[in-house]
Amino acid sequence: AQSVTQLDSQVPVFEEAPVELRCNYSSSVSVYLFWYVQYPNQGLQLLLKYLSGSTLVKGINGFEAEFNKSQTSFHLRKPSVHISDTAEYFCAVSASKDNFNKFYFGSGTKLNVKP
């Protein structure tokens, strides 16, 4: 079975500081990796995804993530955060089973950007 671990439930950070949100997964098969963001009172939207190719993936709003197969990690980073980045971030893993990509989500990390 797959599992996704987001090690930090909350991350406070000051505006313009760098941030890293950690995500580790367990899987014995090839997976696809995603980060979703949920702004207050909104639905989840895709930030970025890794399917294959370059292990460094760039997404929207200046975020990027690096797939590290040996460490089974997919940490999300941004060099300089804004107040508007305050949201909850979910890491997700998709594994193929019976021609169906089942998603497994982490418990989320709340990013709180302070002025």
Partner 1 sequence: GAGVSQSPSNKVTEKGKDVELRCDPISGHTALYWYRQSLGQGLEFLIYFQGNSAPDKSGLPSDRFSAERTGGSVSTLTIQRTQQEDSAVYLCASSLSTGTYEQYFGPGTRLTVT
7 burial via Cβ count (<10 Å: 0-12, 13-18, 19+): middle
CB of 17 to partner 1, least distance (A): 26
| Interface with partner 1 (CB under 8 A), residue from 89, 90, 93, 95 | 90
CA distance 92 to 108: 10
> How many residues form the binding site for partner 1 (CB under 8 A)?
29
51 binds partner 1 (CB under 8 A): yes
Nearer to partner 1, 5 or 86 (CB): 5
Nearer to partner 1, 11 or 106 (CB): 106
Indicate the SS3 state at residue 12: strand
